[in-house]
Amino acid sequence: MKKYIAKRVLNALFVVWLVATVVFFGLRAIPGGPVRTMLGAEATEEAVNRMRAELGLDQPLYVQYVEWMIDLVTFDLGQSLTSGEQISVMMASAVPRTLSIALIGVVVGLGIALPTGIISATRKGQRSDYVATVAAFLGLSMPAFFIGILLALVFGVWWGVLPIVGYAPLQEDGIVEWFRRILLPGISVGVPYAAVVMRMTRSSLLEVLDAEYMRTAKAKGVGRTTRLYKHAMQNALIPVVTVAGIQIALVLVGSVTVELVFGIQGIGRLLVDAILDRNYPVTQAVILLVASIMVFMNLSVDIIYTFLDPRIRYGDEAS
């Protein structure tokens, strides 16, 4: 197990490095650049060259790349080209906002998806199954930003019970105000997440319930509840964990449009502004963070497998 984890961590680090390399050279292959964006199209060539030298963009690409990699190894993300602010400070402000949205979204999503998927699977063909299926398809068909607009309209404009703009830091405004401001964005990303996980829970559980060993357990007189939660759910949860884990990373990525709807300065808003400004260091740092989350989330899912199913072994533990 230890050898497997070490190997997967090394593979994950290689993927992160590969993403960082592609992003670095890919951004610089796009026509234009941050200097023209900051100075405007009417700037003289002399002014452009002067600023490029000040920002270090006049050096060969391989020199810039090596310097950036050295900075990453020392956990130095550099400075924003447009504001001069430390990127680590910018991300320290933006990351908690996005993580707050994702946290509420995942809690809401799992709270809806798991019981709904179980009910839908155990009552196949009944009215509750049809209602759950239709609700899941609606959740899948509506993007998170559209759900956010609807929620803001109903709870913020019509009923006026929840704020719809801005973010309240937990340390400064307390948990109540933090929760009031993050609830609607969290539900917005949680509904599509719930739809995906619910459909996977239903299909996986239906497959397990039809397995031969489940029919054998029923014939031996094992109770319905025991069959469902002790035998069926343990096996059915393996593909559900895969989808749920991957979707958590996608919830973080999908919060970009939701942050724009609710006026929250999170990672998504930071990335959009950086791309529009051709702010290379900030864009690279944010994309690298998102890629790292997705890569190590997949690693975490693989490790969780061994706890859900003791028959699964990796590497030197495989029989």
- Asked whether residue 84 is assigned to any structural domain, the reply reads no
Q: Does residue 226 share a domain with residue 194?
A: yes
What is the residue range of 35's domain? 2-73
| CB atoms near residue 102 (< 10 Å) | 27
Q: Does residue 260 share a domain with residue 111?
A: yes
Instruction: State the total domains in the chain.
Output: 2
Residue 53 CA to residue 35 CA, distance in Å, equals 10
Q: Is 141 exposed, middle or buried (0-12, 13-18, 19+ CB in 10 A)?
A: exposed
Token output for 122: 């155990």
The model carries a pTM of: 0.80
Question: Domain ends where: 46, 73, 100?
Answer: 73
The pLDDT value recorded for residue 27 is: 84
Element (H, E) at 30: none
Nearest in space to 26 (alpha carbons), one of 61, 72, 78, 70: 61
End-to-end CA distance of the chain: 12
Tell me the one-letter amino acid at 176: V
- Find the range with the poorest average confidence among 29-43, 159-173, 247-261, 263-277: 29-43
Q: Does residue 154 share a domain with residue 44?
A: no
Given a contact cutoff of 8 angstroms between Cβ atoms, the answer to whether 227 and 218 are in contact is yes
Question: Domain ends where: 26, 45, 73?
Answer: 73
The pLDDT value recorded for residue 311 is: 60
- Asked whether residue 79 is assigned to any structural domain, the reply reads no
- Asked whether residue 86 is assigned to any structural domain, the reply reads no
- Asked whether residue 78 is assigned to any structural domain, the reply reads no
Tell me the one-letter amino acid at 208: V
Task: Say which residue the tokens 């709904």 belong to.
Answer: 116
**What is residue 79's three-state secondary structure?**
strand
Q: Does residue 95 share a domain with residue 134?
A: yes
Q: Round the average pLDDT of the chain to a whole number and report it.
A: 83
The pLDDT value recorded for residue 318 is: 47
Q: Does residue 56 share a domain with residue 108?
A: no
For the cut 60, the answer to whether the pLDDT of residue 315 exceeds it is: no
- Asked whether residue 82 is assigned to any structural domain, the reply reads no
Nearest in space to 35 (alpha carbons), one of 62, 55, 64: 55
Q: Does residue 149 share a domain with residue 51?
A: no
Residue 237 CA to residue 245 CA, distance in Å, equals 12
Dump pLDDT digits (tens) for 78-131. Answer: 888 888 889 989 988 888 898 899 899 999 999 999 889 888 888 888 888 888
Helices (H) and strands (E) in the chain, counts: 13, 0
Q: Does residue 143 share a domain with residue 67?
A: no
Q: Does residue 283 share a domain with residue 201?
A: yes
The more confidently predicted of residues 5 and 21 is 21
Q: Does residue 66 share a domain with residue 123?
A: no
Q: Does residue 138 share a domain with residue 97?
A: yes
DSSP character at residue 56? T
Helix axes 280-308, 2-29, angle to 10 degrees: 160
Q: Does residue 277 share a domain with residue 144?
A: yes
Residue 113 CA to residue 137 CA, distance in Å, equals 13
Dump pLDDT digits (tens) for 190-242. Answer: 999 999 899 888 888 888 888 777 777 777 777 777 777 777 777 787 788 87
Q: Does residue 122 share a domain with residue 18?
A: no
- Asked whether residue 319 is assigned to any structural domain, the reply reads no
The pLDDT value recorded for residue 1 is: 64
Q: In the predicted model, what is the mean pLDDT of residues 22-38?
A: 81
- Asked whether residue 15 is assigned to any structural domain, the reply reads yes
The more confidently predicted of residues 252 and 85 is 85
The pLDDT value recorded for residue 312 is: 58
- Asked whether residue 30 is assigned to any structural domain, the reply reads yes
Q: In the predicted model, what is the mean pLDDT of residues 270-298?
A: 85
DSSP string, 277-291: TT-HHHHHHHHHHHH
Q: What is the CATH number of the domain that holds 196?
A: 1.10.3720.10
Question: Domain ends where: 45, 73, 101?
Answer: 73
